[in-house]
Amino acid sequence: MSKWAGIAANAALGLIFPYVLAGVVLLVYGFMQPAERIDQIFGILIAAGYTGLVAAVNWITLRGQAAAAVWQGLFLNALAWSAACALTLYIQRYGLL
C-alpha cells in the first residue's frame, strides 16, 4: 500500500484514540463503583483489539519496503497518529464539535 494510505489510516486511528482510552479506563477500573470482572475483560479486549489494529495497519502499509523506508514510514505514521490524537483532545477541551 502507499505511504499516504498508512498516514491516513493512522490519523483516523489517532482521532478515535481518546475515546478508546476513556472507554477502556472506565471498563477496567470502573466508574463510581468497582468494575465487574466481565467489564474488565471487555476493556482489556478493546485495548488489545485497538493495539492490534494499529500494528496491523503499520504492518500492511510498510511490508516489503527497505529498512530505511520502514523507519521513515513508522516515524510519519506515529507523527500522524500523535497529531490526530492531539487534535481530538484539543477539540474536546475547547468544545469545537
What would the pLDDT profile of 36-63 be if each residue is shown by its tens digit?
999 999 999 999 999 999 999 999 999 9
Distance in angstroms (rounded) separating the CA atoms of residues 33 and 7: 39
Share of the chain above pLDDT 90, in %: 86
Name the pTM for this structure.
0.87
CA angle 31, 33, 34 (to 5 degrees): 100
Q: Is the model's pLDDT at 32 over the cut of 90?
A: no
Give the C-alpha distances (Å, rounded to integers) separating 62 from 46, 55, 71: 24, 11, 9
Average pLDDT, the chain: 93
